[in-house]
Amino acid sequence: MDQVMEKMQLPALPSLPKRTYRVGAFAVLLLATITIFSWHTGWIEQQTIRVTRYRGPPVVVYDNAHKLHDADEFWPHFTNVTRLPPMSIEQAKSTCNWAKDDDDVNFTFGEKSGWFLDLSWVTKTKKDREIDPIRAKWQKKVMNGLVPYEKVADRFHGRGIVVVSGDGRSLKRLKVIFKQLAKLGCTLPVEMHYFGHEMSNSVQDEVAALWPVIFFNDLASTHNIKESAYNTNVGIHYQLKTAAMVNSRFEEPLLLDSDNVPLVNPETLYESDVYKEYGSIFWPDIARTRPNNPIWPITNTQCRMNEYEQESGQVLVNKRKFFYHLQLAAWFIDAPDNTGQFKNYMLGDKDCFRFAWHALKTKYGFPSKWLSSVGTLVGDTYCGHTFAQYHPDGYVAFMHGGLLKTLRKPVVRWHLEQSGGIYQAYKRSPYEEDHTKSTHVEIGWDNFDYMPNKPENLVPASCVHFRDVEPRPLEEIAPGFQDTFREIGGYWMLDDDSVCEFLGGLCVDTGG
């Protein structure tokens, strides 16, 4: 409504004494000092994010948003999602009531800061006023900062496997994957993503000879939809996986780690009922997300006791439907305007996918079975170095050897001589299809005390331990894989002088 305001002649103010001017100047100086200090401590950053509240009719989001057919059909849904009432930290954590003394629950992030992260929230719950501006950031990004699907839709075609690989060791593991894919009869094209200097033309020629249809994409190039930085403060290149999924030429990309060996033809995943229903498949990790993790209220999501964190050794997404979801996942881990704060709540790239879907109130597909641990067994000593991840139809689909790199050559040789290989036994949770119940799991060590004439200074291997679960022969769930791994060249490291040992997450030369 227009308002008319009359001009008024204000009376002259009386002159102020000089002392008052000095006091005023001091006050201005003090205020400036406080402002500068506040800027340094991050207070100003939070205040400059305008948090608005939707004042209209009650918002109802589409419960079956995953059924939408096209990315641009999501816009009315996204609008409603950003109008939802802000969720408090108390609301978010109220749905998870694990007992404090329940040591069967394995949470990501301990009670002390590590990995150069700010984990103060673990012991001191954040306040809602700290969370609100962070939530507003991603909501602003979704509504105003994403690349429109219609501008790039013609770049995406068909199905294919996406691999992020650059260094020498990952390329050698990739040769193993190619042999296994050929053995399984897979005909999917493969797309290699690398960063700038990581892959020379000669290496590309070598890799191209290993697979009938293979493409290469330099994530450092300006043609990419999602630009990437290298070795930023988000971890060891974690940001490249999410960028690869956004930039992939495939409309339905399957992200696959180079140390992840398929046991079935990956093409069968596209025909599963889970993928047909949800347009995505995310696989579980071993840990849970803490109830007081700020990422729950930041994404307006209540803590879920039936949900494990995500393991990104394999990720399947229909990009025609979820192009904007993938952009948000990539923004969480690598964007100048998010100030890198999400790395304090999500470990690496893996949970960026899950919480992007949560933030946008979209259901994702997942196998009914939790992962199994696979490894070596000597007497009573079990060392789980690999995850067996399941197909939505119930059988083992992948062997993701995430901790294989911690096994030293003398140990691998010994197991080959004594047992025919390093894939001997597995441990399966008695609650593998009831994700509300937990099996005690932890990362421990194998000191190889069972080895006769154990070499001096032998570095222990990292192992996944399922306490109170008896190991069983691997043949029960993956018949023949022990021999298959040897046949496809899985023991390449025994003949490779460049292989180093991993100690505390760092590659160190320890000999042997």
pLDDT tens column, 145-195: 999 999 999 999 999 999 998 767 888 999 999 999 999 999 999 999 998
Burial annotation 369-379 (CB, 10 A radius, 16+ → b, else e): bbbbbbbbbbe
Using CA atoms, how far apart are residues 13 and 254, in angstroms rounded to an integer? Answer: 73
Judge whether residue 478 has pLDDT over 90.
yes
Nearest to 359 by CA among 345, 372, 369, 370: 345
More confident residue, 182 or 27: 182
> Residue 294 above 70 pLDDT?
yes
Domain termination site, one of 366, 399, 417: 366
Structural domain includes residue 195:
yes
Tallying the residues shown for the chain, one arrives at: 512
**The pLDDT of residue 257 is above 90:** yes
In this structure, the answer to whether residues 351 and 278 fall within a common structural domain is: yes
Last residue of a domain, which of 366, 387, 410?
366
Give the DSSP letter string of 110-168: -SS--TT---GGGTSPPPHHHHHHHHHHHHHHHHHSSPPHHHHGGG--SEEEEEE--SH
Domain limits for position 449: 372-508
| Residue 327 near residue 146, CB atoms below 8 Å | yes
Which structure tokens are listed for 49? 């994010």
12 band by pLDDT with thresholds 50, 70 and 90: very low
355 and 322, same structural domain? yes
User: 268 with 391: CB under 8 angstroms?
Assistant: yes
Question: Is 71 inside any structural domain?
Answer: yes
Decide the pairing of beta strands 260-262 and 396-400: antiparallel
Band (pLDDT 50/70/90 cuts) for residue 57 is confident
| Number of domains composing the chain | 2
* pLDDT value of position 16: 39
399 in the same domain as 350 = no
Q: What percent of the chain has pLDDT over 90?
A: 70
Q: What mean pLDDT is predicted for residues 215-236?
A: 79
Whether residues 446 and 319 share a domain: the answer is no
Task: Report the C-alpha gap between 461 and 492 in whole angstroms.
Answer: 18
Mean pLDDT score across all residues of the chain: 86
Neighbours of 363 (CB within 10 A): 16
Closest CA to 347 of 102, 114, 94: 114
- Which tokens go with 19? 């002392």
> What pLDDT, on a 0 to 100 scale, did the predictor assign at position 511?
35
> Are residues 138 and 359 in contact, defined by beta-carbon separation less than 8 angstroms?
yes
According to the model, what pLDDT value does residue 237 have?
Answer: 72
- Is the model's pLDDT at 406 over the cut of 50? yes
The lowest-confidence range among 140-149, 217-226, 258-267 is 217-226
Distance CA 381, CA 366 (A): 32
Helix axes 319-333, 239-247, angle to 10 degrees: 150
Asked whether residue 18 is domain-assigned, the answer is no
**pLDDT of the residue at 375:** 98
Let me know if residue 164 belongs to a domain. yes
Residue 8 clears pLDDT 80, i.e. is over it: no
User: Which pLDDT does position 27 carry in this prediction?
Assistant: 44
Residue 510 predicted with pLDDT over 90: no
Last residue of a domain, one of 342, 366, 390: 366
Looking at the structure, do residues 311 and 381 belong to the same domain, yes or no? no
Under the banding of pLDDT at 50, 70 and 90, the label for residue 285 is very high
* DSSP 8-state assignment for residue 362: -
Hey, what amino acid is at 36? Answer: I
Bridge partner list, 493: none
Sheet holding 214-218: strands in order across?
Answer: 214-218, 190-194, 159-164, 252-256, 310-317, 280-284
Do 415 and 337 share a structural domain?
Answer: no
What does the alpha-carbon distance between residue 432 and residue 286 come to, in Å, rounded to a whole number? 11
Q: What are the pLDDT digits (tens) for 341-389? A: 898 899 888 899 999 999 999 999 999 999 999 999 999 999 999 999 9
The reply to whether 362 and 476 lie within a common domain is: no
In this structure, the answer to whether residues 270 and 412 fall within a common structural domain is no
Q: At what angle do helices 350-359 and 319-333 cross, to 10 degrees?
A: 120
* 231 found inside a domain: yes
248, part of any domain:
yes
DSSP letter at 254 equals E
Q: Looking at 196-200, 325-329, 461-465, 506-510, which range is the least confident one?
A: 506-510
Same domain assignment for residues 294 and 418: no
The band of 340, judged by pLDDT with boundaries at 50, 70 and 90, is: confident
Mapped onto helix, strand or coil, the DSSP state of residue 78 is: helix
Residue 204 has pLDDT above 50, yes or no: yes
Distance CA 245, CA 239 (A): 11
Amino acid in position 319: K
**132: pLDDT confidence band, cut at 50, 70 and 90?**
very high
Q: What's the sign of the alpha-carbon dihedral 262, 264, 270, 272? A: negative
Whether residue 396 lies inside any domain: the answer is yes
How many angstroms separate the CA atoms of 245 and 318, rounded? 10
Residue 392, classified by CB atoms within 10 Å of its CB into exposed (0-12), middle (13-18) or buried (19+), is buried
**Percent of the chain, pLDDT > 70?**
84
Strands 310-317 and 280-284: antiparallel
Nearest by Cα to 47 from 56, 34, 58? 34
| pLDDT for 115 | 66
Task: Please check whether residues 332 and 477 belong to one and the same domain.
Answer: no
CB neighbour list of residue 330: distance below 8 Å, 6 or more residues apart: 226, 239, 242, 243, 245, 246, 352
Same domain, 344 and 396: no
In this predicted model, what pLDDT tens digit does every residue of 92-129 receive, in sequence order?
A: 999 999 987 777 888 988 776 666 788 899 999 999 99
What would the mean pLDDT of 456-463 be, rounded to a whole number? 94
CATH assignment at residue 302:
3.90.550
Tell whether 87 is covered by a domain: yes
pLDDT at 54 over 50: yes
In the structure encoding, which two tokens stand for residue 480, read together?
């023949």
pLDDT of residue 13: 34
**Same domain, yes or no, for 395 and 259?**
no
pLDDT at 506: 41
The mean pLDDT value for 404-422 works out to 96
Region 261-283: what's the mean pLDDT? 99
In degrees rounded to 5, what are phi and psi of residue 226? Answer: -105, 110
Higher-scoring residue by pLDDT: 31, 390:
390
